[in-house]
Amino acid sequence: MFPVDTTRSPGKHVQPDAYLITHAHSDHHGKSAMLSPNAVCSEKTAVALEIRHDKRYAGRMFGLGDEIDVGGIRVKTFPTEHTVGATAFYWKNDVGTRILVTGDVKDAGRLPPCDILITEANYGDPADPACHFADDLEGMKCALFENGKVAFGAYEFGKAQRAVELIRGFGYDGAIRMDARTRALTRNMLEDAGELEGLGSEGDDGVFIVAPWYLDKLPWNMKKYVLSCRMDYPYPTIRISDHLDVRGLENMVKKLNPEVTLVYHPGGNRPYKFSEYLNSIGIDSISIDQIGNVLSNEFT
């Protein structure tokens, strides 16, 4: 028995053979699961969990792409490019059914075909304009090279490292300023992040990457943007996401060609909306809110 992306069961309850953790975002519950010796995640995810929660990771680790043994089951691991270290898990059950659990996905290009796909729908509502986007790389590049100082609002884990990769890819090789924890995460997640500096008294040259709420604290005369597909920030947004949009999710499902797709994440109604949409185009699907916590034989 190995749950994926769950909290840890209290010690007096039956313990699973393993807690598989797809990545280090808090809504995937690594903060709780990382404290169990039965936790299993990628090396990068373990490092990110330790920095983010200032606790020792107690489980075991694998290199992304490795095949691991979990209670006698061979589980293959695949990158989803949602964060550094983000992992999809793939195994066959005892009658040969191929099962893939993706966690959050930015790029499905390296995921394997499967019979049961268990996936996310963070941007899964086809009727919502916010669920249709392409990364605005040109907009970010323009903002970076405009005259004057620039600050990008980005969450410390995931988006901030993507921002650094993009900024370096655009050819900027000067200092990037960020708070201590974001800097530690970025140094440990990226092979070559270039010059990273702190905030505050250490100088104010370079490009800033800070949490969206911290933009208020930076000088008024800086140009400030939030890297997000959300529209409820008091600053202009540049659409840079670490998820697939709804067309990307649909294309992923079609490519992986499962018999059935279970949409398990996030909370709210988007899993249901995406599942409903898949059924409307002839792809069998169900969302987790429709099945409670038991997969019936009828379903499988």
- Contacting residues toward Zn ion, per CB under 5 A: 25, 104
Angle at 23 between CA 233 and CA 254, to 5 degrees: 85
Place of tokens 């921002």: 163
What is d(CA 75, CA 54) in angstroms, rounded to the nearest whole number?
29
- Residue in this structure with the two tokens 């901030």, named with its chain if needed: 160
Nearer to Zn ion, 25 or 270 (CB): 25
Residue pair 156/182 in contact (Cβ under 8 Å)? The answer is yes
The amino acid occupying position 41 is: C
- Measured distance CA(282)–CA(86) in Å, rounded: 30
56: Cβ contacts below 8 Å, ≥ 6 apart = 50
> What residue number has its CB nearest to Zn ion?
25
CB of 194 to Zn ion, least distance (A): 25
Decide the pairing of beta strands 60-62 and 39-42: parallel
User: Please, what is the minimum distance in Å from the beta carbon of residue 18 to Zn ion?
Assistant: 20
- The residue among 87 and 287 lying less far from Zn ion, judged by its C-beta, is 87
State which residue, 162 or 177, has the beta carbon closest to Zn ion: 162
Contact 48, 189 (CB under 8 A): yes
CB of 300 to Zn ion, least distance (A): 27
Residue 158: CB minimum distance to Zn ion, A: 6
What whole-number distance in Å separates Cα of residue 86 and Cα of residue 89?
10
Minimum distance from CB of 125 to Zn ion (Å)? 18
**Choice between 267 and 292, CB closer to Zn ion:** 267
Nearer to Zn ion, 98 or 243 (CB): 243
